Amino acid sequence: MKIREAEMNDIAQIQQVRNTVVENRLSDPALVTDHDVADYITRRGKGWVAVTGNRIIGFAIADLQDHNIWALFIHPGYEARGIGKQLHDLMLHWYFTQTTHSIWLSTAPGTRAEAFYRRRGWRETGMHGKGEIKFEMSIADWNIAISIKGEN
């Protein structure tokens, strides 16, 4: 498995991964268009893909305009292998080299994603959208999180 920057020709496979996840499923896959993905990986921010062979098995996208994590998803057949952690850490490292502005995300309560973000050092700051938990990460929190990881 390798991780690299997302490219325009990755969009179809990114969409496949997004639509196969078990948690935080889109109620309507048409809500996130190929144009949306292209905009986020080229103009609004940056994305990364985890690839095995020629198959994308996970992806992450950070949005510099709205200062949020737009996406972090792993194909269900590849979960619990550390791929999400690698994508997460690479994405946040890049983000905080671009800005010192805090970053946020939201996820459904009671999910593995909620637990994942708590373990990675995200702070709950309230609710967002339709009952999702809103988390934030400041550059200070990120620096603490990476220094703790370095000690392990």
The confidence score (pLDDT) of residue 152 equals 40
75 secondary structure, DSSP code: -
Q: Give the CATH number, domain containing residue 40.
A: 3.40.630.30
Give the span between the Cα atoms of 126 and 123, in whole angstroms: 9
The confidence score (pLDDT) of residue 46 equals 98
Number of compact structural domains in the chain: 1
Stated as kind and residue range, the H or E segment containing 115 is: helix 112-119
Give the span between the Cα atoms of 22 and 62, in whole angstroms: 21
Stated as kind and residue range, the H or E segment containing 144 is: helix 139-151
> Using an 8 Å Cβ cutoff, are 96 and 142 in contact?
yes
The confidence score (pLDDT) of residue 27 equals 63
The confidence score (pLDDT) of residue 148 equals 78
Q: Which of 113, 136, 130 is nearest to 31 (CA)?
A: 130
Does this model's pTM top 0.85?
Answer: yes
Fill in the amino acid letter for 31.
Answer: L
Provide the residue range defining the domain that includes 23.
2-151
Rounded mean pLDDT for each run of 10 residues along the chain, 152 residues in total: 98 95 70 94 98 97 98 94 97 98 96 95 93 97 84 44
The confidence score (pLDDT) of residue 114 equals 96
The confidence score (pLDDT) of residue 55 equals 98
Fill in the amino acid letter for 24.
Answer: N
Give the span between the Cα atoms of 10 and 63, in whole angstroms: 18
